[in-house]
């Protein structure tokens, strides 16, 4: 039942294999199918809704690249947004704090806490050469403490000796005392599974948290979870406070939508994945792989990526020719904004260039509002084709319409129009000066001559106009930055 998305999208888009930008109706038709696919992948409904909105804003008006159908284009945008939402950096379980570092494992019954505890403990003991202690606070499930003890023997990690009739809180205290007295670096506290609406058990785990002040509190959750992922993650986060999520049973054949739900709802990073029953079957989290799995359309995504590769040449030439003629429409500006964002914003672009660490630091200090890019894109996509071609027609009532359509203020529209004007003036100058492809290559680097690098932007995507980035107030630029480079946020 999960293989439907390709087919569904196929039939939607067979009818409209046209070129150009994605229209609102293209996008809506595709997103209806994407929505169903996400729900069938167990992404929780509120998360699906938010997510679809985010994709819609991005997709409408996006250029469909050559040899790719609109449906495929939407899939690519959905995929990129998924990766971004899942979190672009792979964060690990941290043990850098004053020893003994307490790590609290929490979650529902049967989620895989005990096995995960042993896996993480083994990895930290071996890879980070730490002295690790594990303690089971599960006095509810029969033989739970024996289970951890056996696993400890198996992976060669110490476990806290079992003392009968102790409460979970007492065991936690004892574990930390033993940890301190016997010089352990890390102490794992494996708690009993509990439903997130069991008030008594939730306050028990809160008491443990208050006692040991864990450095990490990890929610261990089953990748097979359905819509309940949201409730569980929210409740544990609100009542206990999480620092991360570990997703288990990812070696099953679920789509794993729970990962997206939990990540999106709590904002907490996914720090590891359980990929099997054996004690070394634990992996770092890779958002792109998981996105691929949730969507199940990896082939389409890579197809679009290949198409984009082959297209960059033409694109660069076309852009260069237009610039030489001094043409720079709002559509061009939108394209550039989009490219910027797709490349990970300004910080991302600079990160790709060799030798720009210093500038990047200066830029971080300059406090650039990266959200501005999407806002400005939204403004441009809310304008009619005619308005985009000929911004002079923008009168007060049109501006009001665009502002409400894009969720911005009229002064935002004014600012954008002014920036566009300045940019196109600059384009003209640049075009007259040199023009042609040579200029594009330089522009592609996003740096004026003398700037660091020559690295060139990957993808030769038309580059950043030398004449000032949109959305920036200018002024107060850190030394070494090209003229017109983004300045501080107002």
Partner 1 sequence: MSDADSFETPSPDGGDGRDQGKGWFARLREGLSKSSRRLVDGISSLFTKRKLDSATLEELEELLITADLGVTTAAKLTQNLARDKFDKEVTGDEVREAFAADIAAILDPVARPLTIDATQKPFVILMVGVNGSGKTTTIGKLAKRFRAEGRSVMLAAGDTFRAAAIEQLRAWGERVGAPVVEKPHGTEAAALAFDALTRAKAEGTDVLLIDTAGRLQNKSLLMDELAKVVRVLKKQDPEAPHATVLVLDGTVGQNAHSQLKVFKEMVDVTGLVVTKLDGSARGGVVVALAETFGLPVHAVGVGESADDLRPFEARQYARSLMGLEG
Site string for partner 1, 43-82 (x = CB under 8 A): -xx-------------------------------------
User: How far apart are alpha carbons 34 and 295 in whole angstroms?
Assistant: 8
Measured from the CB of residue 357, what is the shortest distance to ligand GTP in angstroms? Answer: 49
Measured from the CB of residue 282, what is the shortest distance to ligand GTP in angstroms? Answer: 17
Measured from the CB of residue 197, what is the shortest distance to partner 1 in angstroms? Answer: 5
193 contributes a contact to ligand GTP by CB under 6 A: yes
Token code pair at residue 125: 């003991």
Task: Quickly count: other Cβ atoms within 10 Å of residue 127's Cβ.
Answer: 9
Cα 423–Cα 425–Cα 429 angle in degrees, nearest 5 = 115
* Interface residue with partner 1, options 28, 253, 299, 309 (CB under 8 A): 253
Q: Which stretch binds partner 1 (CB under 8 A): 69-77, 110-118, 353-361, 448-456?
A: 110-118
Token code pair at residue 332: 């061009």
The residue among 62 and 191 lying less far from partner 1, judged by its C-beta, is 191
224 binds, among ligand GTP, partner 1, none (CB under 5 to 8 A by kind): partner 1
The residue among 45 and 197 lying less far from ligand GTP, judged by its C-beta, is 197
225 binds, among ligand GTP, partner 1, none (CB under 5 to 8 A by kind): partner 1
The residue among 233 and 439 lying less far from partner 1, judged by its C-beta, is 233
302 contributes a contact to ligand GTP by CB under 6 A: no
Match 């679920």 to its residue by tokens.
Answer: 254
Site string for partner 1, 134-153 (x = CB under 8 A): ------xxxxx-xx-xxx--
Site string for ligand GTP, 98-117 (x = CB under 6 A): -----------xx-------
Q: Which of residues 159-178 bind ligand GTP (CB under 6 A)?
A: none
The residue among 114 and 408 lying less far from ligand GTP, judged by its C-beta, is 114
Residue with nearest beta carbon to ligand GTP: 109
Token code pair at residue 115: 């096995």
* Interface residue with partner 1, options 254, 266, 374, 376 (CB under 8 A): 254
Measured from the CB of residue 198, what is the shortest distance to ligand GTP in angstroms? Answer: 8
Measured from the CB of residue 40, what is the shortest distance to ligand GTP in angstroms? Answer: 25
Spell out the residues 6+ positions from residue 117 whose beta carbon is closer than 8 angstroms to its own.
105, 134, 148, 151, 188, 190
By CB under 6 A, the count of residues binding ligand GTP is 5
141 contributes a contact to ligand GTP by CB under 6 A: yes
Residue 47 C-alpha from the chain's centroid: 14
Report H helices in 97-167. Answer: 113-127, 144-155
User: How far apart are alpha carbons 6 and 14 in whole angstroms?
Assistant: 12
Q: Which of residues 314-333 bind partner 1 (CB under 8 A)?
A: none
Residues 67/307, Cβ–Cβ less than 8 Å: yes
The residue among 232 and 382 lying less far from partner 1, judged by its C-beta, is 232
Q: Which of 214, 235, 250, 197 is nearest to 137 (CA)?
A: 214
User: How far apart are alpha carbons 173 and 123 in whole angstroms?
Assistant: 24
195 contributes a contact to ligand GTP by CB under 6 A: yes
Task: Quickly count: other Cβ atoms within 10 Å of residue 364's Cβ.
Answer: 12
User: How far apart are alpha carbons 452 and 449 in whole angstroms?
Assistant: 8
Whether the bond into 247 is cis, omega within 30 of 0: no
Strand partners, 161: none
50 contributes a contact to ligand GTP by CB under 6 A: no
The residue among 140 and 177 lying less far from ligand GTP, judged by its C-beta, is 140
User: How far apart are alpha carbons 409 and 406 in whole angstroms?
Assistant: 9
Report which DSSP code applies to 478: P
Token code pair at residue 248: 């288990």
Which three-class secondary structure state does DSSP give residue 247?
Answer: strand
Burial 80-91 (b: 16+ CB within 10 A, else e): bbbbebbbeeee
Burial grade of 263 (CB within 10 A; 0-12, 13-18, 19 or more)? buried
The residue among 170 and 227 lying less far from partner 1, judged by its C-beta, is 227
Q: Please give the residue ranges that form the binding site for partner 1 (CB under 8 A).
A: 1-2, 36, 39-42, 44-45, 108-112, 140-144, 146-147, 149-151, 154, 195-198, 222, 224-229, 231-232, 235, 249, 251-255, 257-258, 277
Binding site for ligand GTP (CB under 6 A): 109-110, 141, 193, 195
């Amino acid at each position: 039942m999960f293989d439907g998305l390709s087919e569904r999208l196929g039939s939607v888009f067979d009818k409209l294999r046209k070129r150009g930008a994605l229209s609102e109706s293209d996008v809506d038709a595709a997103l209806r199918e994407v929505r169903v696919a996400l729900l069938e992948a167990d992404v929780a409904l509120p998360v699906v809704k938010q997510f679809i909105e985010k994709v819609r804003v991005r997709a409408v008006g996006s250029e469909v690249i050559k040899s790719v159908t609109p449906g495929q284009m939407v899939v690519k945008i959905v995929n990129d947004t998924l990766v971004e939402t899942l979190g672009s950096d792979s964060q690990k379980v941290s043990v850098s704090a004053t020893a003994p570092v307490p790590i609290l494992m929490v979650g529902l019954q049967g989620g895989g806490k005990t096995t995960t505890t042993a896996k993480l403990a083994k990895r930290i003991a071996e890879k980070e050469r730490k002295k690790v202690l594990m303690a089971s606070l599960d006095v509810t499930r029969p033989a739970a403490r024996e289970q951890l003890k056996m696993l400890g023997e198996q992976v060669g990690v110490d476990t806290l000796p079992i003392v009968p009739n102790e409460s979970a809180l007492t065991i936690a205290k004892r574990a930390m005392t033993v940890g301190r007295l016997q010089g352990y670096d890390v102490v794992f506290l494996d708690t009993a599974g509990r439903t997130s609406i069991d008030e008594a058990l939730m306050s028990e785990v809160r008491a443990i948290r208050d006692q040991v002040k864990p450095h990490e509190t990890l929610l261990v959750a089953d990748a097979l979870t359905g819509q309940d992922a949201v409730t569980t993650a929210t409740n544990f986060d609100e009542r206990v406070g999480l620092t991360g999520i570990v997703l288990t049973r990812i070696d099953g054949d679920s789509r794993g939508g729970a990962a997206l739900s939990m990540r999106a709802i709590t904002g907490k990073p996914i720090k590891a994945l359980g990929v099997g029953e054996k004690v070394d079957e634990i992996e770092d989290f890779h958002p792109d792989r998981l996105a691929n799995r949730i969507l199940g359309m990896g082939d389409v995504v890579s197809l679009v990526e290949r198409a984009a590769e082959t297209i960059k040449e033409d694109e660069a030439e076309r852009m260069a020719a237009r610039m030489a003629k001094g043409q720079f429409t709002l559509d061009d500006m939108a394209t550039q904004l989009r490219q910027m964002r797709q490349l990970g914003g300004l910080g991302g672009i600079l990160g790709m260039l060799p030798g720009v660490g210093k500038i990047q630091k200066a830029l971080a200090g300059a406090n650039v509002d990266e959200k501005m890019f999407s806002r400005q894109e939204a403004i441009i996509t809310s304008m009619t084709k005619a308005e985009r071609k000929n911004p002079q027609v923008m009168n007060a009532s049109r501006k009001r319409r665009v502002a409400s359509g894009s969720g911005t203020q009229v002064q935002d529209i004014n600012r954008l129009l002014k920036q566009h004007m300045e940019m196109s003036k600059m384009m003209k100058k640049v075009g007259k000066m040199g023009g042609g492809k040579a200029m594009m290559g330089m522009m592609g680097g996003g740096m004026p001559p003398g700037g660091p690098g020559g690295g060139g932007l990957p993808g030769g995507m038309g580059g950043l106009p030398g004449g000032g980035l949109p959305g920036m107030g200018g002024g107060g630029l850190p030394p070494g930055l090209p003229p017109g480079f983004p300045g501080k946020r107002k």
